[in-house]
């Protein structure tokens, strides 16, 4: 019989299954806390359960845990990049960032990615598979176990397209914010998407309170379709309409990611076009110098053009900041560690 992934179950589901084993109601909560608060990786660590029950649990369930394969720690700011292995050998990446307001972990949502953005290392070898809710949770737990520190924030901005793994991501968010579990406020969570418009509308209906980040990277279809194939399906205007509706419904300000690529999307004209598209929208623009990826021809914009781009936006009353580069000395762009490991 196939064992059940116990860490992907909600407390309600676990209660039903334990009820079927004749266990009292409080038992499910006790086990749920071992998994989600004490973050144990084996049933043997659940010391207040009888040996008999632990054996029974081992027969029916397994605990999904990732293992840390490699770790790069920035000497500049403590940012830590982890290469992690899933139970079937797939590799993913997670990054711990330390801020004044707390520790934030950037997690992967898929092994690989099929979105094909031209500047991104994560998509070079396509998508292998979706991550399970338990695997996304354990990326955060592995960092907490490794550092012994609390993780208060999460960003879904690692390898993969979260909205291409919609059901598992939504369940992960439910588990992450469960009061009997990690109890992370979804106000402390950002989800970044390349713009799967149909799923943005689905997410809007759930009104989860998280911050939606849109990887925009271009002000018009001509440039965006060239660097982001997803734009051939959903055009810039459709995407921005969805964002406006998302804000109207949820009251959550949209955050736009704009990666500046030398000679591609960093001209003053692009900045003006972007400003006119975003005018009147309650949003924030995050300007990011593109990380050079060896396999692509794209290069970083100069500091000067980045500052000029920001100035144009600011003058037009569009809130724009330049992303502080954390962990500059371990600078491996999204998906590069995984890619290099697979190639070597
Ligand atoms: N698929 C989601 C989330 C993962 S990518 C998305 O597209 O938003 C996380 C962010 O990193 C996205 O904004 C993506 O466009 C950006 N990114 C990818 N490769 C990059 C690179 N080489 N330099 C800078 N940002 C990059």
Instruction: For residue range 182-211, list pLDDT tens digits in order.
Output: 999 999 999 999 999 999 999 999 999 999
* Residues 219 and 274 sit within 8 Å (Cβ to Cβ): yes
Q: Which atom of ligand 1 is nearest to the CA of 161?
A: 1
Report the pLDDT value the prediction gives residue 343, as an integer from 0 to 100: 57
Report the pLDDT value the prediction gives residue 342, as an integer from 0 to 100: 65
Report the pLDDT value the prediction gives residue 77, as an integer from 0 to 100: 87
**Does the CB atom of residue 157 touch ligand 1 within 6 A?**
yes
**Does the CB atom of residue 193 touch ligand 1 within 6 A?**
yes
Report the pLDDT value the prediction gives residue 1, as an integer from 0 to 100: 78
| pLDDT tops 70 at residue 152 | yes
Q: Which of 227, 225, 256 is nearest to 242 (CA)?
A: 256
Q: Does domain 4-62 have CATH number 1.10.260.40?
A: no
Domains of the chain by residue range:
4-62, 67-343
**Does the CB atom of residue 293 touch ligand 1 within 6 A?**
yes
| pLDDT tops 90 at residue 212 | yes
pLDDT tens for 92-135 read: 999 999 999 999 999 999 999 999 999 998 999 999 999 999 99
**Does the CB atom of residue 123 touch ligand 1 within 6 A?**
no
CA-nearest residue, atom 17 of ligand 1: 120
The catalytic residue positions are: 93, 334
Whole-number average pLDDT of the chain: 94
Q: Which atom of ligand 1 is nearest to the CA of 292?
A: 22
- Rounded distance between C-alpha atoms, residue 82 and residue 285, angstroms: 27
334 pLDDT band (50/70/90 cuts)?
low
Cα 262 to chain center, whole Å?
26
| pLDDT tops 90 at residue 293 | no
| pLDDT tops 80 at residue 328 | no
Average pLDDT over residues 280-292: 92
- Rounded distance between C-alpha atoms, residue 263 and residue 252, angstroms: 33
| pLDDT tops 70 at residue 337 | no
List the structure tokens of 180: 């009997």
CA of 255 to the centre of ligand 1 (A): 13
| pLDDT tops 90 at residue 309 | yes
Average pLDDT over residues 14-43: 97
The CATH number of domain 67-343, selected from 3.20.20.70, 3.30.360.10, 1.10.3720.10, 3.40.50.360: 3.20.20.70
């Amino acid at each position: 019989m196939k064992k059940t992934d116990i860490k992907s179950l909600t407390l309600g589901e676990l209660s039903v299954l334990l009820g079927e084993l004749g266990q009292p109601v409080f038992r499910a909560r006790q086990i749920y806390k071992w998994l989600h608060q004490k973050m144990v990786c084996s049933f043997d660590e659940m010391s207040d359960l009888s040996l008999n029950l632990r054996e029974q649990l081992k027969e029916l369930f397994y605990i999904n845990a990732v293992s840390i394969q490699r770790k790069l720690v920035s000497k500049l700011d403590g940012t830590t990049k982890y290469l992690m292995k899933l139970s079937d050998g797939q590799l993913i990446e997670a990054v711990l960032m330390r801020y004044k307001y707390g520790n934030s972990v950037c997690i992967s949502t898929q092994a690989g990615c099929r979105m094909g953005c031209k500047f991104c290392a994560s998509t070079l070898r396509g998508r292998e598979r979706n991550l399970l809710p338990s695997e996304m949770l354990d990326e955060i737990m592995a960092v907490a176990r490794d550092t012994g520190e609390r993780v208060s924030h999460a960003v879904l901005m690692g390898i993969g397209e979260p909205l291409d793994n919609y059901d598992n991501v939504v369940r992960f968010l439910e588990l992450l914010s469960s009061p009997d579990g990690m109890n992370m406020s979804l106000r402390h969570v950002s989800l970044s998407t390349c713009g799967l418009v149909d799923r943005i509308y689905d997410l809007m209906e759930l009104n989860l309170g998280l911050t939606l980040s849109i990887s925009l990277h271009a002000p018009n279809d001509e440039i965006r379709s060239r660097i982001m194939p997803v734009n051939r399906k959903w055009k810039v205007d459709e995407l921005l309409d969805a964002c406006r509706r998302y804000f109207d419904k949820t009251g959550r300000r949209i955050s736009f990611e704009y990666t500046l690529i030398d000679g591609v999307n960093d001209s003053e004209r692009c900045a003006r076009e972007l400003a006119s598209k975003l005018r009147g929208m309650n949003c924030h623009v995050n300007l990011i110098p593109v990380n050079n990826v060896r396999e692509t021809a794209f290069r970083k914009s100069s500091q000067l053009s980045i500052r000029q781009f920001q100035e144009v936006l600011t003058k037009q009353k569009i809130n724009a900041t330049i992303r502080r580069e954390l962990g500059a000395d371990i600078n491996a762009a999204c998906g590069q560690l995984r890619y290099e490991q697979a190639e070597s």
